[in-house]
Structure 1
Amino acid sequence: MATLSDERFDVAIIGGGVVGCAVARRFALAGAKIVLLERGTDILSGASKANSAILHTGFDAPPDSLELELVKAGREEYLAIHRDHGLHLVQTGALVCAWTELEAEKLDGIAQQGRSNGVAGLNLLTGAEARTLVPGLAQSLCAAVEVVGEHVIDPWSAPLSYITQAMALGAKVMRSCELLSGRFDGDWELETSQGLVRAGAVVNAAGLFGDVVDDRLGLTPEFSIKPRKGQFVVLDKAARSLVPKIILPVPNEITKGVVICPTAFGNVLVGPTAEEQEDRTRATVETETLEMLKEHGSRLIPALRHVPVTAIYAGLRPATEKKHYRVVSRPEKRAITLGGVRSTGLSAALGLGQHALKLYSEFGVPLAAPNEVPHVQVPNLTETEERDWQRPGHGEIVCHCEMVTRREIEAALTSPLPPGDFGGLRRRTRAGMGRCQGFYCNARLAELTKGHFVEPLAVSGRT
């Protein structure tokens, strides 16, 4: 029987977040033989599992920056392919809101920067004009900038579609596969927790472990990851009618600030915070902070005070010592590092895939694109399009809060990349993500998923 060490890949991608999945797709489309190594039990198990799901325009990205270039490229490609992939765009638009006269003085500069960044649809509004677009905004609003092109998407189905298309083109995904060390001697020999992997080149898309992976590869890290925790409150679907647009704050030097954001699933997010910590794997939630977020949302949109909280969660962003992306190419070792990709990673992922392939082309290794590109569509999870429960023959409604069908659960479990854990199932179906947070459906989900996960779903507990 052949072992991993007997097989040689053109490129090994380390990290199965949204960036790694997008890079795998782009290289597979170019004809590369790909292996993706993910230390977690499922894709998106790191920073990518927790984000605000905004498809950014780049209006507030640093001018003339790589981030701006890649956000715009990634957005353009998403808009070009999303329908073909079964993905959807929830057209919300956004308001950058000034709540003090000092903040209002900054709005013209924000609009000018956005226009300089090549973003159209930026309109300066008075507080009264902004309230005609979002009537629930507090009377204390001074002024706003409308950003017509800022929208929200399904943050989990997009990368799933990217990696599924890569797999249809022959890419191999290895989960629960941690990189231990690497050595370059004309080819890369990667020692992993599942054995030796050989590849002609490596792309480090390891997110929160980007500097650690560079070090394990024997590459001198050019940055240090400084995990930045963001806590979120998810409000009940009753809030959605009160928040038709993304409500953005005037940003500061450290963070884009707390956002009030409609989701593609019919809820409303309030968050994230920006808290530095050392732990790269564990993001806790604190009652005091969550109460602050709920109060913040209620102060800006008073009617939110009466909307219950559906869920709370926290995620980590791979911040570094500097604000910009930390992209490094080492042609002499055929290695590319995509580091420091923070809040705009979902928007820039496809652009990062394009950029990584461009850097790889400078290595002088030719690739031959496949003659045919397989068609891939993922199931729709958004509230703006028809869901599976609305079609006949779905079997049963397993999760009544999110209207998830048995057919959707079974399709996920038998898909080309089935979920490796319950979190992966939630991200593929929305099961257990509603008002009861799995209290009523977990027992049935445990039955349906028996034998599919290394750690079975506990029948009586919430996750």
Structure 2
Amino acid sequence: MMKSQIGLFDVAVVGGGVVGCAVARRFALDGARVVLLEKAPDILAGASKANSALLHTGFDAPPGSLELACMQAGYREYIEIRDRMNLPLLETGAMVVAWSGEDLPRLNGIAEQARANGVDDVSLLDKAEVLRREPHLATSVRGALLVPGEHVIDPWSAPLAYLSQAVLNGAQALFNAEVLSGRLEDGVWLLDTPKGQLRAQTVINCAGLFGDILEERLLGGSSFTILPRKGQFVVFDKAAAALLRTIILPVPNDRTKGVVLARTIFGNVLVGPTAEEQIDRDRADVDQRTLRMLIAKATEMVPALADAPVTAIYAGLRPATERKEYRVTANLEKRWISVGGIRSTGLTASLGLARHVAELHRGFGDDKRAPLTDPLWPHMPNLAEHMARDWQADGHGEIVCHCELVTQREIEQALAGPLPAGDIGGLKRRTRAGMGRCQGFYCQARIAALTAGKLAEPLAVETSDE
């Protein structure tokens, strides 16, 4: 049986994480015919669904690295476009906190690195200054480095906005469309997916945790090896937000940046992540011992958190590789660009990575299309707790999720438009429904009714025969 052909594209972006969404946007704005292929029913189904949601300045990135350049370019572009897209920014600043006499002198070196990286507004704080800024911190604090430009953003609305703009300007997004096989014929890729076969002049590998597998599958070998790294998080109830206004970072070590304590854009406080190597690329389980450790670590830093209830626990996987740096390569002969090894800084760096990839692609010498002069811009619904929410406006219908004050109108809008939620995870990331204290226990049945027949993977609700 002959497979149906979807069409010919300039660029096929494989992977619907934050980097893939940003890359699709950049090429669409540059006038290319773009398709994004995601094997899940919705975007952000892999590593991008679980992160710390911090907008990084690059103060502690390796000097002269691609990671630093992309983070700072991505930071600048996010600030430039966020108002136009209605993307939130919670201006918190960060402190790299020394809790021991051993850590205290290391702050000077971190400050020097920050300035070498162009982050000139950092300053050293003594114990009294730290406690004036954060009076709920433990009095065992020794000092800190203040980094004013580090902030908190919405980790889900941003990539959704990026792909939404791509689609508004002509790109296609195909879901449940895993790239099963492919071959390069006469300078054009033929890609086989469950949705049919499509042709693309260039493939951009943004497959995250499966990036090396995609290379093996289509190129016969991979330039990097994914070594999944799990990070577990604990989320405290919204009352805890009154105890903290600054991102609290530890003095890092050679392996990890360590456990972070920060507010979230949704009004909570989170602590994490851990850094645990594992083989499984699909599952990121939580365990009680580690979660108790995270809670103990949080209360060690802010003792009043001992009385704060925990709202949620979760874990995510980061696509680490056998080397620490980003693994970005371009192969003109194969018409292929890989964007691999993008770990915890990918949310910030995504827009910068997209520009870097577009520049690599220009080196292929076949860009004949002009950038869009007047592109369409999406306006994203606000999910940030410090800004006006839909429940505060007229005509929103019923409150569906009472923990997070999610309205019927928000649910209905998330199920409509060019990029509707494909599964319950996608709906949650578009609305906050089910994120609160009860974790969907009370609203699940109503959400199942509202989404009936509208999700690629329906929300099943158990019923009783009694």
- Structure 2 partner of 1:426: 428
Q: 2:394 aligns with which of 379, 392, 395?
A: 392
Query: Superposed, which structure 2 residues align to 1:302-313 within 5 Å?
Result: 302-313=303-314
- Structure 2 partner of 1:40: 40
Query: Superposed, which structure 2 residues align to 1:192-231 within 5 Å?
Result: 192-218=193-219, 220-231=221-232
Amino acid at match of 2:218: L
Amino acid at match of 1:188: W
**Distance between the aligned counterparts of 1:3 and 1:419, measured in 2?**
27
Amino acid at match of 2:335: R
Amino acid at match of 2:388: E
Query: Superposed, which structure 2 residues align to 1:29-428 within 5 Å?
Result: 29-185=29-185, 186-218=187-219, 220-366=221-367, 367-428=369-430
Q: Is the 8 A contact 2:311 2:437 kept in 1?
A: yes
Measured after TM superposition, the shift of residue 219 of structure 1 is 5.2
Using structure 2 for the length normalisation, give the TM-score: 0.97
Measured after TM superposition, the shift of residue 88 of structure 1 is 1.2
Deviates more, 1:433-442 or 1:177-186: 177-186
Measured after TM superposition, the shift of residue 372 of structure 1 is 2.5
Partner SS for 1:364:
coil
The runs of at least 4 consecutive aligned structure 1 residues that moved more than 6 Å come to: none
- Percent identity (aligned): 59
Measured after TM superposition, the shift of residue 215 of structure 1 is 1.0
Cα distance 1:219–1:337, how it changes in 2: closer, same or farther (>3 A)?
farther
Partner SS for 1:73:
helix
Measured after TM superposition, the shift of residue 454 of structure 1 is 3.0
**Distance between the aligned counterparts of 1:445 and 1:194, measured in 2?**
28
**Distance between the aligned counterparts of 2:121 and 2:288, measured in 1?**
39
Q: Is the 8 A contact 1:310 1:434 kept in 2?
A: yes
Measured after TM superposition, the shift of residue 415 of structure 1 is 2.1
Q: Is the 8 A contact 1:19 1:352 kept in 2?
A: yes
- Structure 2 partner of 1:28: 28
**Distance between the aligned counterparts of 1:3 and 1:34, measured in 2?**
21
Cα distance 1:104–1:460, how it changes in 2: closer, same or farther (>3 A)?
farther
Measured after TM superposition, the shift of residue 460 of structure 1 is 4.5
1:194-232 CA distances to partner (integer Å, 9 max, x unpaired)? 221210001000000111111112153111000000000
**Distance between the aligned counterparts of 1:70 and 1:455, measured in 2?**
35
Measured after TM superposition, the shift of residue 384 of structure 1 is 1.6
Q: Is the 8 A contact 2:422 2:457 kept in 1?
A: no
1:27-54 CA distances to partner (integer Å, 9 max, x unpaired)? 0000000010101111000000000000
**Distance between the aligned counterparts of 1:190 and 1:120, measured in 2?**
47
Measured after TM superposition, the shift of residue 375 of structure 1 is 2.1
Q: Is the 8 A contact 2:6 2:196 kept in 1?
A: no
Q: Which runs of 5+ in 1 are unaligned?
A: none
Measured after TM superposition, the shift of residue 3 of structure 1 is 7.3
Partner SS for 1:454:
coil
**Distance between the aligned counterparts of 2:217 and 2:128, measured in 1?**
56
Q: Is the 8 A contact 1:187 1:199 kept in 2?
A: yes
**Distance between the aligned counterparts of 2:457 and 2:46, measured in 1?**
18
Q: Is the 8 A contact 2:70 2:353 kept in 1?
A: yes
Deviates more, 1:117-126 or 1:191-200: 191-200
Measured after TM superposition, the shift of residue 183 of structure 1 is 1.1
Deviates more, 1:214-223 or 1:442-451: 214-223
Amino acid at match of 2:300: R
Partner SS for 2:333:
helix
Measured after TM superposition, the shift of residue 182 of structure 1 is 1.9
**Distance between the aligned counterparts of 2:74 and 2:182, measured in 1?**
30
Measured after TM superposition, the shift of residue 126 of structure 1 is 1.0
Amino acid at match of 2:390: D
Amino acid at match of 1:344: T
**Distance between the aligned counterparts of 2:220 and 2:163, measured in 1?**
27
- Structure 2 partner of 1:454: 456
Amino acid at match of 2:103: E
Q: Is the 8 A contact 1:92 1:246 kept in 2?
A: yes
**Distance between the aligned counterparts of 2:6 and 2:46, measured in 1?**
30
Amino acid at match of 1:242: L
Cα distance 1:269–1:4, how it changes in 2: closer, same or farther (>3 A)?
farther
Partner SS for 2:387:
coil
Deviates more, 1:209-218 or 1:452-461: 452-461
Amino acid at match of 1:400: H
1:77-132 CA distances to partner (integer Å, 9 max, x unpaired)? 00000010010110000010111111112100001100100012211011221111
**Distance between the aligned counterparts of 2:455 and 2:193, measured in 1?**
21
**Distance between the aligned counterparts of 1:242 and 1:101, measured in 2?**
25
Measured after TM superposition, the shift of residue 457 of structure 1 is 1.3
Cα distance 1:59–1:177, how it changes in 2: closer, same or farther (>3 A)?
same
**Distance between the aligned counterparts of 1:320 and 1:135, measured in 2?**
40
**Distance between the aligned counterparts of 2:6 and 2:261, measured in 1?**
51
1:129-179 CA distances to partner (integer Å, 9 max, x unpaired)? 111111111111111100000000000000000000000111111111111
**Distance between the aligned counterparts of 1:228 and 1:361, measured in 2?**
33
CA RMSD of the aligned region, Å? 1.2
**Distance between the aligned counterparts of 1:83 and 1:120, measured in 2?**
25
- How many residues are aligned here? 460
Amino acid at match of 2:385: E
